[in-house]
């Protein structure tokens, strides 16, 4: 009998309303992984210095204090964090943002869906994917 291993997703989203919407979508999508929300890149780095590495980091581009690209650069430059998969999850559709993200080593670049059902679909995709770091 196989057991599903629960994985942790560290999610940086600075908008409290978007965080609530994500939490509701996580419940509706019946996600089995644990989700921890932080407000910005500074909090991601703080979390990583105090806790074990998550299986996946979801990163918004436009955040206060330390934006997504700055955070991604620090993650990929750090020997202990560089292998953690990172998905940029943003409203930006700019090719320059996408190219900069891939140049810095992001694993995937996703534009935030405009509907709740679209958000549930993204969460289910993430849950069933091979993005997670073991």
Give pLDDT tens digits for 60-111.
998 888 899 999 999 999 999 999 999 999 988 899 999 999 999 999 999 9
Q: Roughly what angle, to the nearest 10 degrees, separates helices 68-77 and 41-50?
A: 30
Exposed / middle / buried, residue 21 (Cβ in 10 Å: 0-12, 13-18, 19+): middle
Would you say residue 52 has pLDDT above 80? Answer: yes
Which CATH number do you get for residue 69? 3.40.50.2300
Mean pLDDT, the chain, rounded, equals: 89
* Domain count across the chain: 1
Asked if residue 104 is part of any domain, the answer here is: yes
Counting residues of the chain whose pLDDT is more than 70, the rounded percentage is: 92
- Do 134 and 57 meet the contact criterion of CB atoms below 8 Å apart? no
Asked if residue 94 is part of any domain, the answer here is: yes
What does the pLDDT average to over 114-129? Answer: 89
Asked if residue 132 is part of any domain, the answer here is: no
Q: Which domain holds residue 53?
A: 40-127
């Amino acid at each position: 009998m196989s057991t599903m291993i629960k994985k942790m997703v560290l999610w940086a989203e600075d908008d409290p309303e978007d965080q609530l919407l994500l939490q509701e979508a996580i419940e509706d999508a019946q996600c089995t992984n644990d989700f921890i929300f932080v407000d910005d890149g500074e909090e991601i780095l703080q979390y990583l210095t105090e806790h074990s590495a998550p299986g996946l980091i979801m990163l918004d581009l436009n955040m206060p204090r330390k934006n997504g690209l700055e955070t991604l650069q620090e993650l990929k430059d750090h020997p202990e964090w560089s292998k953690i998969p990172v998905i940029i999850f943003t409203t930006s559709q700019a090719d320059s943002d996408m190219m900069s993200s891939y140049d810095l080593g992001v694993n995937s670049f996703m534009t935030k869906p405009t509907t709740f059902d679209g958000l549930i679909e993204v969460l289910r995709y993430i849950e069933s994917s091979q993005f997670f770091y073991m």
